[in-house]
Structure 1
Amino acid sequence: MLDTENTDQFEEIALEDQARLVLGGCEGWPLAPVIDWLISKDSRFTDPAEFLKALCNSLLNVGAPLDRIRLSFRTIHPQVAALSYIWESNRTEIETMQIGHGFKDTEAFKGSPADTMMSTGEPVRFKIADIDVSKEHEAIQDVADTGATDYLGLPMLTSTGDVHNMFISTNREAGFTDCDIQKLKRLSQHIQAKVELLATQRLAIALLDTYVGKRTGQRVLDGQIKRGQGEEIQAALWFSDLRDFTLLTETLPPEDLLELLNEYFELVYNSVTKYGGEVLRFIGDAMLIVFTAENSSTGCLYGASEGAFSASEMAYKELEEINARRKEEGKPVFNFGVGLHEGTVTYGNVGAPDRLDFTVMGPAVNRTARLESKTKELGRRRLMSREFAEKLSKPIESLGFFNLKGIGEKQEICAVAR
């Protein structure tokens, strides 16, 4: 429960008393060196875990009675609603926790200190040595199990109205003094802007990873956002397309169509990312994927091609299991074709001045898509160029030379030997 014996522990204090806190005139450890560190270049971090570790080291250096700090903030991500970073004095590494959507409806959250702070925007304190822990929320019981004698929760209100939280506990027998609490509250006010910046950076990374992919997202964050800016890379390319998509759109209810599409996209995504591939774009029911030489197991184009081929093997194996389940559930099954090619592509920015797309371009991309379109005509769900096939250790057969739309000369098309 909230410590009610010292209700003035969270009240604002006079300016002269605040100055004493900062300058170290108050009893115990001085806050000023920590604030000096916060405004120095030594506190410039882009990783919340590294920032928290450095902050805790700075606090320990001045004698602050800390044994555990948890820093939590909300984020926007399709699978993660919040991130927590946990420092403990007896561990060298920061623990990172990802909290899924719907956490507010769980018993672990309802009635917890975090719930209280998010609802009220006010600090909370639990002097564990003076309360019956068995009657408290499980979060307090968990903290008590670490040996903590005092537990302090400090909310940090952001400029957008969100509330980030910092939870601090000590194992010191006497717990926190009133002066400790005022200093820690003051500290939370000083780090509020920095934590908000770190949370914004995490948000930007999460959104870019989700919507444009990690490789592209990192380049955007690195400032490669000028139209026409790009680089040539060696890559294996994958283009896949869902079979009979037009028929599916005409016959399936919208929710069933979306469910099927998402299952197809997830299947391919899981397969290609396991082997170093990155989905560059979804084009309706099609997917353009790149396997770069630098991200391959061997660091060369041979490894990238092997990775792309192995990903297709995995995807088709998983497809059989998915379709068997869908059939049992009375749902329509699905299939897709894959074109595989390799070569040099231009990876960069194209578009209008205020609306850009970061993608791969070049003849190799067009040829990969044309190979996929031939899968229907040749009755093979996976086709590859001769250049790609020569990079594989698998037995490959040539299906002959064919005209591909937009390509002047006939091209040799290969497939896995039957």
Structure 2
Amino acid sequence: MASNKHWQDILWGGHTGWSITNTINWLLTTGRTLTDPAVFLKELALKLMKDDANIARIRITLNTIDPEIRASVYTWWRGREEIDVFTPSHGIESTTSYQGSPIEEARNSCRIVRHRLIDNLPTNAHIILQELKNEGMTDYAVFPIQFTDKSISTFIVASDDPKGFSNSDLNKWKALLLYLLPVLEVFSARKTIQSLLNTYVGPSTGQKILKGIVKRGDAELIECALWYSDLRNFTVLTESLSTETMLQLLNAYFEVVTNAVTERGGEVLRFIGDAMLIVFTADELGSIKQACQAALQAAIDANTQLQTLNKELEAKGMPQLSFGIGLNEGKVIYGNVGSLSRLDFTVMGPAVNRTARLEDLTKKLSVDLLLTEEFAQYITQPTQFLGSFNVRGVPTPLQVHTLAQCTKT
């Protein structure tokens, strides 16, 4: 049977030196309730400093599933007020800053990697070790953190004490990680869930889902500007281009529109083949007038960015792109529809149908941007009335406008 001293060494890092007891108590009470990793790291560092921990720098890396970033990296330095937050993009593993680094070694071996920086470094030492030595660090240790899904993140500590870390220090860091690991795994899981929701349903919708609006029928009535856009000649392009080229063009179009829309406070709700359903809510933007103005400006921005893209495509000998946009406003039902086990979070109502039908008219009228009369009343730019048009599924004719600057002469 293991002795009490053995278990004390494992759970508390032994008796000598500074104590992790107060930090553990904080982790099990207040610390675990914090939701921002940067705030958590700062508070953790302050607790450790108060208990005389031999520490000058702490870094936590948390892997995530995100289309743009590989991980979130949080760094605390003693004497600095702010936590440094870094989000390396995919492909970081192939860079010289990562290859051959202590972090790569710790992740690949799943073992603690320690480097004493007191003496001169070997000529082939990784650049990160030289940078830390230049910052005055004397000791550096990378602890791999393996979560229940077998993914590996890291907890990294550095000291500027003339003697570096003692054996007692390292034992305490290993003991502390027993209590840190479940808290860090929650942070990692929360970050991944949030990232996936942002990617697949959008930030606003994602927040609603995280708050528990997940049952079929959970919905609310919102006032918003509605955008429906569709790529021109998509069927022809699909039949004439390779799959790889078609996907490249489609993604370029989606990126142009998404960037323009999110920059103005809108949110892409759905990709429907080559079409996009987008909302600019009055609540988010302050009023329905501001929502309509934001949607219109996003449409102008997207068209401008598309012209730039088309010049690049032309230079590569690729087909150029064009798309039609219908803009409308109204009150819509925003919430969950579907089966009991498979739901879609979207907007519904006559205003949505009218917006889609309005976009259909852009082909018939050879005008890339059309506005309903209801939408046009909220914008400041000059418009031109194009007429009344009967459209499928709408009982009364649509009163259709466009921007004066879009009218062909």
Q: TM-score range by the shorter chain?
A: over 0.9
- Name the CA shift for 1:145/1:392 in 2 (closer, same or farther; >3 Å): same
> Which region of structure 1 is more displaced relative to structure 2, 199-208 or 323-332?
323-332
User: Distance in 1 between the 2:14 and 2:174 partners?
Assistant: 16
1:409 and 2:396 aligned: yes
Structure 1 counterpart SS, 2:269: strand
In structure 2, what is the equivalent of residue 338 of structure 1?
A: 325
Percent identity between matched residues is 41
Per the TM alignment, residue 14 of structure 1 is displaced from its structure 2 partner at its CA by: 6.8
Taking structure 1 as the reference length, the TM-score comes to 0.94
User: Distance in 1 between the 2:205 and 2:257 partners?
Assistant: 19
Q: Which residue identity lines up with residue 192 of structure 1 in the other structure?
A: L
Structure 2 counterpart SS, 1:160: coil
Question: Conserved in 1, the CA contact under 8 Å of 2:12 and 2:172?
Answer: no
Write out per-residue CA displacement over residues 306-330 of structure 1, whole angstroms, 9 at most, x where no aligned residue.
Answer: 0000011111111112112211211
Q: Which residue identity lines up with residue 172 of structure 1 in the other structure?
A: D
In structure 1, what is the equivalent of residue 101 of structure 2?
A: 112
User: Distance in 2 between the 1:36 and 1:133 partners?
Assistant: 41
User: Distance in 2 between the 1:266 and 1:20 partners?
Assistant: 54
1:248 and 2:237 aligned: yes
Give structure 1 regions of 4+ aligned residues with deviation exceeding 3 angstroms.
Answer: 20-25
Taking structure 2 as the reference length, the TM-score comes to 0.96
Write out per-residue CA displacement over residues 93-128 of structure 1, whole angstroms, 9 at most, x where no aligned residue.
Answer: 211111111222221111111111011100011111
User: Distance in 2 between the 1:18 and 1:141 partners?
Assistant: 37
Per the TM alignment, residue 57 of structure 1 is displaced from its structure 2 partner at its CA by: 1.3
In structure 2, what is the equivalent of residue 364 of structure 1?
A: 351
User: Distance in 1 between the 2:21 and 2:238 partners?
Assistant: 65
In structure 1, what is the equivalent of residue 378 of structure 2?
A: 391
Structure 2 counterpart SS, 1:130: coil
Structure 1 counterpart SS, 2:371: strand
2:315 to 322, 325, 328: 328
Structure 2 counterpart SS, 1:305: helix
User: Distance in 1 between the 2:109 and 2:31 partners?
Assistant: 34
User: Distance in 1 between the 2:321 and 2:189 partners?
Assistant: 40
Q: Which residue identity lines up with residue 129 of structure 1 in the other structure?
A: I
1:176 and 2:168 aligned: no
1:275-290 equivalences under 5 Å are: 275-290=264-279
- Name the CA shift for 1:187/1:124 in 2 (closer, same or farther; >3 Å): same
Q: Which residue identity lines up with residue 90 of structure 2 in the other structure?
A: H
Q: Which residue identity lines up with residue 327 of structure 2 in the other structure?
A: L
Per the TM alignment, residue 211 of structure 1 is displaced from its structure 2 partner at its CA by: 0.7
- Name the CA shift for 1:287/1:83 in 2 (closer, same or farther; >3 Å): same
Structure 1 counterpart SS, 2:118: helix
In structure 2, what is the equivalent of residue 4 of structure 1?
A: none
Per the TM alignment, residue 27 of structure 1 is displaced from its structure 2 partner at its CA by: 2.1
- Name the CA shift for 1:18/1:64 in 2 (closer, same or farther; >3 Å): farther
Unaligned runs of 5+ in 2: none
Question: Conserved in 2, the CA contact under 8 Å of 1:22 and 1:32?
Answer: no
Question: Conserved in 1, the CA contact under 8 Å of 2:74 and 2:84?
Answer: yes
In structure 2, what is the equivalent of residue 10 of structure 1?
A: none
RMSD across aligned positions (CA): 1.5
